[in-house]
Chains A and B, each alone.
Chain A
């Protein structure tokens, strides 16, 4: 909050406006549509997974629930092997504000807490709670807050935190933290992001078609929790069925100050910053959050999860997952429990086709390759995409950059990918930082258009990690320097004290020897006197 106040007078980069001015400018969000720089019109490929209704697959034999599925620190297990858990019981807690709880997706027995792959691009293993379901799927006691309208926003935030709701759009940022941040920053508009722009992914679209009422209720709860006045629901102009569903649901709900906006489908419009630019015409300044200019942005699935958490008392234990691609026999959306192995979902979709080559979590633009189909679905998994050989192989090998500038033309963050690529390749880190490498949203547009087939985003991800590591190393070096210098001072002080002690002792010694001399002198004088007296006596 202090940071926000201190910046009130600062001019934001690029616009020349102060933060309060920019906040006023964003008040008309959704009234007119604007453009963001670059972007691509991609073939959607969503229909193939939207023709079948969403189903809940049968319970798998075992569920693997990773304890870290979100931004912030990992949760610590509060159950142990042999414990019986009910659906919705807490499995892991983290005391940090910026973290989320993990809950049991079904009732059953905890088999143990083992290190398993965590469904993360790193392929690293981490602690996961293994649950064998008992088949009854029995809920633990549920605590609902039906009169949330009269409640303190903080209580609502706490409920959202306790139920483990995180951003389901992909960044898995704890939702309660975003709501509290919005309250502190006095936001005026809540943007509900239904612009699912990446090809193949249709889980949000199916959710919006089937449960627009839950999304609207959740949005109203979120609006109350973050202290905003109005809600703007943004959907893509190709989603006709979604629009009809929303219009009917809006009428039925009677919610006020909620507007539905259709935006043209240009990838990566579902990105938070790009969506804000389309709706308001203003950019979120680099290094700032949307809350700094009066906005909070939440995904539609997050809003639905909030409605479940507050009105039903259900923690976040399941999500819509798109299982699609030319490598899947019956592409569709499934309502999967967190922790379900990917292979179980693929079986529900008729299995793999012969051409299946590569499995990707997420979409074709931003997803990452999955090492094994035994890895679990986590809160962040929106799509399982199975691609075929000819989709994976690039038409030609990587070639040198010809500096055509196509990448800069399509970059939605207005960066110069060709320059960044050259700098990272040649280890010119300070130059890469100055060219705003950290502003890259890794959307993959530059990769897509590069005629030389350079894996630009791979380079940028590597460069970002490298810069982060350098900053960490610098921190460690600074700490070591402080500790080294403190030790040097201490050793010097101890030496000094020792010298002083020796000096004192020497002084004491010399004092003593002086006294001894005095005594000796006195003794001598006395003995002299004595001998003198005896001499005198003998003379008498």
Chain B
């Protein structure tokens, strides 16, 4: 009677131990260094590094979304299109941008009034993408191509000499606007 029950119990425990060992080994052998979801989310974020989402950069926000800590509607520079892309990736419903994080604005770049700049280096330290060059007591200037328009250099400036300006349309960057339907077509609801 006893031996009847002990054989399967033993067998199952043995199997359990074997599978456990196998899983334990596989977890070490095939361990994923980084969460691939974080990379995928990070690739969709605009990389403005503006911290309007409440995290110190796009990557930290991506990590927060992946862990479920942050919602997908906290990135104003990404805008509606960004939220839609995140919703598609994560299989969630798109929702409107959270107004607490800011509003979607056209892209701008920082311009330093070089006459007024006193060379305090505070904006250089604040810039998340090293787009400002200059040295102590020397005039600073912004590298236009590298500036993401994050506004983070504005608060530290003691003489308020930085302006955010919209880029002038040039022939290379000009694009046509969306054609307006001549009659009100019924768009899908």
Contact = CB atoms under 8 A, between A and B. Distances in A.
B3 interface: no
A491 to B, nearest CB: 10
Given A400-B185, A484-B47, A484-B129, A479 B171 contact: no
A465 interface: yes
A483 B130 contact: yes
Contacts of B182: 397-398, 453
B143 to A, nearest CB: 10
Contacts of A436: none
Those 6 A-B pairs whose CB atoms lie nearest each other, nearest first: A465-B175, A480-B47, A477-B47, A483-B129, A398-B182, A458-B179
Nearest to B80: A427
Given A68-B171, A122-B171, A122-B174, A483 B131 contact: yes
Contacts of B181: 398
A413 interface: no
A398 B173 CA distance: 30
Interface in A100-126: 118, 120-122, 124, 126
Interface string A454-494: 01001101100110110011001111110111111000000
Contacts of A480: 47-49, 129, 146, 148
B183 interface: yes
Contacts of B81: 427
B174 A487 contact: no
A407 to B, nearest CB: 16
A462 B179 contact: yes
Contact of A398 (B129, B175, B183): B183
A412 B48 CA distance: 42
Contact of B185 (A68, A398, A466): A398
A255 to B, nearest CB: 39
A120 B178 contact: no
A458 B42 CA distance: 33
Contacts of B57: 484, 488
A74 interface: yes
B145 interface: yes
B90 to A, nearest CB: 17
B46 interface: yes
B169 interface: yes
A487 B47 contact: no
Contacts of A122: 169, 171, 174
Contacts of B29: none
Taking residues whose C-beta sits less than 8 angstroms from the other chain, chain B's interface range is 20 to 34
Contact of A478 (B47, B59, B179, B183): B47
A468 B177 CA distance: 13
Contacts of A461: 176
B76 interface: no
B58 interface: yes
A462 B145 contact: no
22 contacts: A74-B171, A118-B171, A124-B169, A397-B182, A398-B181, A398-B183, A458-B179, A459-B179, A462-B177, A462-B178, A462-B179, A476-B148, A477-B46, A478-B47, A479-B145, A480-B47, A480-B49, A480-B146, A480-B148, A481-B47, A481-B58, A484-B59
Interface string B37-57: 000001001111100000001
Nearest to A74: B171
B180 to A, nearest CB: 9
A455 B179 contact: yes
A479 B145 CA distance: 9
B174 to A, nearest CB: 4
B159 to A, nearest CB: 24
Contacts of A472: 173
B128 A487 contact: yes
Interface string B139-182: 00000011010000000000000000000011101111111011
A483 B146 contact: yes
Contacts of B42: 481
Given A124-B169, A466-B175, 11 more contacts: A118-B171, A122-B169, A122-B171, A124-B174, A397-B183, A398-B185, A462-B177, A484-B57, A484-B59, A487-B129, A487-B130
B129 to A, nearest CB: 4
Nearest to A485: B59
B41 to A, nearest CB: 13
A461 B42 CA distance: 30
Contacts of A453: 182
Contacts of B176: 121, 458, 461-462, 465
A479 B131 CA distance: 11
A120 B171 contact: yes
Interface in A377-436: 397-400, 426-427
A36 B145 CA distance: 43
A380 to B, nearest CB: 13
Interface in B40-98: 42, 45-49, 57-59, 81
Contacts of A462: 175-179
Contacts of B45: 477
A74 B172 CA distance: 10
A166 to B, nearest CB: 15
Nearest to A475: B145
A478 B128 CA distance: 14
Contacts of A68: 171
Nearest to A398: B182
Contacts of A118: 171
A458 to B, nearest CB: 4
A379 B45 CA distance: 42
B131 A124 contact: no
A213 B128 CA distance: 63
